[in-house]
Amino acid sequence: MNILVIGGGGREHAIAWKIDQSRIDHNIFCLPGNPGTAAFATNIPGKVTDFPLVKDTVAEKNIDLVVVGPEVPLVEGITDFLAAEVPSVKVIGPSKKGAMLEGSKDFAKDFMTRHGIPTAKYATFTGTSYEEACAFLDGMQPPYVLKADGLAAGKGVLIVSDLQEAKSLLKDVFDGKFGAAGDKVVIEQFLDGIEMSAFVLTDGKDYLLLPEAKDYKRIGDGDTGLNTGGMGSVSPVCFADEAFMEKVRKRVIEPTIAGIAKDNLDYKGFIFFGLMNCGGDPYVIEYNVRMGDPETESVMTRIKSDLLAHMIACADGTLADEEIEISDKAAVTVIMASGGYPEAYKSGYPILGHVEKGSMVFHCGTSFKDNVVVTAGGRVLAVTANAANIEDAREDAYDAVGNLFFEDCYYRNDIACDLLSLEGGDED
């Protein structure tokens, strides 16, 4: 079986690495991939949104299954494009309509409201209804949550406690702060709770629940400073116990999949549920129509069963026959970033060192320069360790980080620390 993984970050490295462990005979191609995937797959240079290139690659390499990593090609309709151009190829990733669950916050909120899925109360406004939006803000309690409707590379959510600042930021968004993504703005109630993420693979009827995870979005220790794509992750999440996850299944996941079927969203792929645990009840903060990064790096290392077999069943619509097996071990992922990220940073520094067996180094932003692996992004490496509990996994991950070097390297020191006190003695 020939598989094409679309994307070139740590998430795609981790997905391709997991596929590579399959008992099914396989060849993996990555577009574009990275020096990490080059160790076991064939990288094909190019852009993830170059649909003609994807089509030519599928034809030339006799690809049977395409796995789409990032949201942008999904929101731009890569799945519909492939269905029309190469109907025989199986695709993991929703249709353009299904991808609207991430591509438009207003669409997602309307979907959740219609299907009775718990989420923060909200209203949607456009630039022409600025005065109404301000009146709506006047009637709310701080902090105020403003969300650009469209894709904004994770930067489109503003949370402010001052009413005047909220109004002035709202004006900035309507005036183009996030480009066309801000033509509509969702204003919603602030949810006070602990955040975590649940992930499923669904064929539109049935689903497999993947290990849950928590990520660390801020650049600084103690959740301070600017927002990033994510500076680390941990799985499992001890406050997401069986009782909570049962609520997530019954109140969130199953109504979402039933809603997808009812609305004919044509969805075969991953769903990432951004959740807030508010006093033991789950609320959906957002849907993503892909896996998270760096959650995937922790999640993939905990899946024991054959992901490729699950994906084939997903594409064939026979996921009901599959069972996922998950390791009892904990996983902790620490991101090694370029100093300066998420603002300006320098690239091109050689990466040196190696880690002990048992830890994984997934490449996020690296490239080859004269056969040497060099830094090539804000987030450079995702270092993942698995151990009997979070404390040991954390220690192993940081030991591995300590054995890797590049100039200007920055990482958080407190990934998973908040869960240590919660973990208690009852590890699963």
Cβ atoms of 161 and 171 within 8 Å: the answer is no
215 binds, among ligand AMP, ligand GLY, none (CB under 5 to 8 A by kind): ligand GLY
Does 286 bind ligand AMP (CB under 6 A)? Our answer is yes
Two structure tokens written together for 70: 């990032």
Selected range binding ligand AMP among 90-98, 125-133, 183-191, 237-245, rule: CB under 6 A: 183-191
CA 356 to CA 335: how far, in whole Å? 17
Does 108 bind ligand AMP (CB under 6 A)? Our answer is no
Look-up of token digits 């669409």? 107
CB of 153 to ligand AMP, least distance (A): 10
Does 274 bind ligand AMP (CB under 6 A)? Our answer is yes
Q: Which is nearer to ligand GLY, 293 or 322 (CB)?
A: 293
Amino acid present at 374:
V
Does 335 bind ligand AMP (CB under 6 A)? Our answer is no
In order, the DSSP letters of 166-197 are HHHHHHHHHTTTTGGGGSEEEEEPPPPSEEEE
Q: Which residues in the 341-360 window bind ligand GLY by CB under 6 A? A: none
Q: Which of 288, 298, 359, 386 binds ligand GLY (CB under 6 A)?
A: 288
Backbone angles phi, psi at 385, to 5 degrees: -130, 150
CA 140 to CA 163: how far, in whole Å? 9
Two structure tokens written together for 190: 């602030």
Q: How many CB atoms lie under 10 A from the CB of residue 140?
A: 17
CB of 309 to ligand AMP, least distance (A): 31
Q: Which is nearer to ligand GLY, 224 or 371 (CB)?
A: 224
Does 285 bind ligand AMP (CB under 6 A)? Our answer is yes
Q: Which of 83, 157, 245, 309 binds ligand AMP (CB under 6 A)?
A: 157
CB of 156 to ligand GLY, least distance (A): 12
Instruction: Determine what percent of the chain falls in helix, strand and coil, rounding each to the nearest 5.
Output: 35, 30, 35
Selected range binding ligand AMP among 49-57, 190-198, 307-315, 328-336, rule: CB under 6 A: 190-198
Cβ atoms of 137 and 164 within 8 Å: the answer is no
Two structure tokens written together for 1: 């079986």
Give whole-number Cα distances, 107 to 80, 96, 179, in Å.
19, 13, 18
CB of 229 to ligand GLY, least distance (A): 6
Peptide bond into 236 cis (omega under 30): yes
- Alpha carbons within 13 A on the beta-carbon side of 38: 13
Does 212 bind ligand GLY (CB under 6 A)? Our answer is no
CB of 146 to ligand AMP, least distance (A): 9
Does 230 bind ligand GLY (CB under 6 A)? Our answer is yes
Selected range binding ligand AMP among 12-20, 188-196, 206-214, 244-252, rule: CB under 6 A: 188-196
Does 188 bind ligand AMP (CB under 6 A)? Our answer is yes
Peptide bond into 45 cis (omega under 30): no
CA 286 to CA 283: how far, in whole Å? 9
CB of 145 to ligand AMP, least distance (A): 4
Does 215 bind ligand GLY (CB under 6 A)? Our answer is yes
Q: Which of 102, 203, 293, 306 binds ligand GLY (CB under 6 A)?
A: 293
Which helix (H) or strand (E) segment holds residue 386: the answer is strand 379-387
Q: Which is nearer to ligand AMP, 184 or 268 (CB)?
A: 184
Cβ atoms of 154 and 216 within 8 Å: the answer is no
CB of 188 to ligand AMP, least distance (A): 5
Q: Which is nearer to ligand AMP, 38 or 157 (CB)?
A: 157
Q: Which residues in the 143-162 window bind ligand GLY by CB under 6 A? A: 154
Amino acid present at 422:
L
CA 119 to chain centroid, in Å, comes to 19
Q: Which is nearer to ligand GLY, 31 or 382 (CB)?
A: 382
Site for ligand AMP, rule CB under 6 A: 120, 145, 147, 157, 159, 188, 190-191, 195, 274, 285-286
